[in-house]
Amino acid sequence: MNWPREYLKAIRAGTEIVSTKVKTVYEREVAWMENPPGDFPFVFDEERGEDPICFIEEFCNHSKGRWSGKPFRFELFQKAKLQLAFGWVGKETGHRRFREIVDIRGRKCGKSTETAGVALYMLVGDGEGGAEIYCTANKKDQANLIFQEAVNMRQQSPTLRNVTNKRQSDIFFPATMSSMKALAADTKTMDGLNAHFFSLDEWHEARTRKVYDVMIQSQSAREQPLAWLISTNGRVRELFFDDMYNYASHVAMWDQGFEDYRVLPLIYELDSRDEWEKPECWAKANPGLGKIKSLETLKINVEKAKKDPNFLPTVLTKDFNIPENSVERWLPYEACVNETESYICENGHKVLWSPSDDDGCPECKAVLKPTLLAEHLAKSYAIGGCDLSATTDLTCASLLICKPNDPNYYVLQHYFLPDSRVKDVEDGNAQEAPYRLWKDQGHMTICEGATVDYRQVTQWFVDMVKLYDIRPLWIGYDRALAGYWVEEMQEYGFDMERWAQGPITWTYPMKRMGGLFTEKKIISNNHPILRWCVRNTAKKTLNPNGIESIQPVKAASNLRIDGMVSLLNAFTSYYAHEDEYRNYLR
């Protein structure tokens, strides 16, 4: 049985309610099973993926609550997860494809019990010689929860008792000289490990990457190691959890630069904050709701949260995986992505095309080939925008272009970042963004040294005029962060327009810009950095009880929104000169 395919069928039919990220993962994985790319190095082995399912259901019993003493029986979502994790193997090596499983779901949805069974399978059933299995967490008490559940499962199984030994601090499997034990960040030493498998439980509590980094590095000598990360959301913001969550989210949506075939991200969460009061949405964050997790208890907790604002953050983070102190995301994911891009046919027709369109030029049916958006927009008047940020951080230059009798708004952007900043990201093992890839694709200039060279920003605007005859009539910028750059731009003849960065200036253009993104009227050739910045943007509402004033803020301090702010400055100038600008369209 192909459980991922069955799960996807249930998702499509609406009998399994999941988050957008989970659905996207299963759509992609099943598509690869049915129509793998020609050079795809992996194959899906259903029988091998069934091994841990059969092992756990045959040898492992529950030890707590109403299921105590009963055999483990997986729900569909669990079978799909386990078969994905263990069924994908390399065509040539036969080794597992996945090295890391990131599973975020609501509390009491069976994470710990499932993980204890997987740990026992990795100890006894995976066939690894001298396997070192570790149940890890931020604190030893938390690490012991999964380890003790594995001990309880062993105790209830005559077969597992016969083939393993329970020693003072571990479970030992003599047949392969393998062992399982609990380990935590507060353990005195974590040196000298050679982990084959480790689970990391409730890592939302971690304030550093210590346990994760040490355990990942300890697996370097193994041929098919596996890291098994399970957690709810939490209240420790902007540290390890948010870094890992952001990376896993990008992988789930298969964003450009985050195509990581070794990570399986399963993020069960509400797609928007307002869904916490909609019972039909609760299963998005709680797979197995009504079977593993009590629906009645969740109803009681939600009702309590409606009456007790102090209890609400607990329900949002633990039951629905909504960050407790997060600001509201500006736009949903779907609004941030517009796959419409510029093409030209062999007869010279310039067209816009998206994957949903018919093949060929709509005017003459000739073959289309991609073209630079700047070439598509040559000989246009524009309105510019810039977000210079700090000299040591990301800078973005933008051009906003309209065309006669065309409802779309076209965006050209280029980004600048100091080389020292890129190296800091790489040396720190941070999973921030694929800056060098974006540079190789022509979207970014990496400036030598430790600062952005503003002369290169000026040169980009000049090149747009010289190479493509795209001339900005006005360029909006932050009056607080311009310095000498404005004078340099004015020397080249650009009309620079100062804007105070705040809700008074930004509310109207930001609302209009959000509507245009939602209507898919902003065309940027699906610029990956702009898409990334827009996804990173949250909105801060300053007077929610009156006329709503908004301004952009980072969804987390380690994210970047410079491309969105640069474009917002351009839109601010556009709406200040809309009628006059439209007289110049060509």
pLDDT in tens, 248-299: 999 999 988 899 999 999 999 999 888 999 999 999 999 999 999 999 999 9
**CATH code for the domain of 404:** 3.30.420.240
**CATH code for the domain of 24:** 3.40.50.300
Last residue of one domain, picked from the residues 326, 352, 373: 326
Clarify whether residues 407 and 521 are in a common domain.
yes
> Is pLDDT of 429 > 60?
no
Clarify whether residues 65 and 185 are in a common domain.
yes
Give the per-residue pLDDT at 237: 65
Clarify whether residues 149 and 218 are in a common domain.
yes
The 3-state DSSP class for residue 285 equals: coil
pLDDT in tens, 141-198: 889 999 999 999 999 999 999 999 999 999 999 999 999 999 987 666 677 899 999 9
Clarify whether residues 318 and 426 are in a common domain.
no
pLDDT in tens, 209-226: 889 999 999 999 999 999
Is 150 a domain residue? Answer: yes
Clarify whether residues 495 and 568 are in a common domain.
yes
Clarify whether residues 284 and 401 are in a common domain.
no
Clarify whether residues 535 and 404 are in a common domain.
yes
Is 367 a domain residue? Answer: no
Clarify whether residues 207 and 112 are in a common domain.
yes
238: left (phi over 0), alpha (psi -120 to 50) or beta: left
Rg of the Cα atoms in the chain: 27
Give the per-residue pLDDT at 327: 59
Is 343 a domain residue? Answer: no
Give the per-residue pLDDT at 310: 80
Q: Please state the domain count of the chain.
A: 2
Clarify whether residues 322 and 453 are in a common domain.
no
Is 352 a domain residue? Answer: no
Last residue of one domain, picked from the residues 310, 326, 342: 326
Clarify whether residues 147 and 272 are in a common domain.
yes
474 DSSP assignment: E
- For residue 569, which amino acid is it? N
Is 340 a domain residue? Answer: no
Is 333 a domain residue? Answer: no
Residue 570 has, within 13 A of its CA and on its CB side, a CA count of: 29
The 3-state DSSP class for residue 90 equals: strand
Residue 407 binned pLDDT confidence (cut-offs 50, 70, 90): very high
Is 271 a domain residue? Answer: yes
Report the 10 Å Cβ neighbour count for 482. Answer: 17
- Continuous segment of H or E residues that includes residue 352: strand 350-353
Is 342 a domain residue? Answer: no
Range of the domain at 428: 381-582
Clarify whether residues 414 and 322 are in a common domain.
no
Averaged confidence pLDDT in the chain: 92
Clarify whether residues 322 and 404 are in a common domain.
no
Give the per-residue pLDDT at 170: 96
What does pTM read for this prediction? 0.76
Residue 304 binned pLDDT confidence (cut-offs 50, 70, 90): very high
Last residue of one domain, picked from the residues 282, 301, 326: 326
Measured CA to CA, the distance from residue 431 to residue 82 in angstroms comes to: 26
Residues 6+ apart with CB under 8 A from 117: 52, 55, 56, 60, 72, 150, 153
pLDDT in tens, 35-93: 998 899 999 999 999 999 999 999 999 998 888 899 999 999 999 999 999 999 999 99
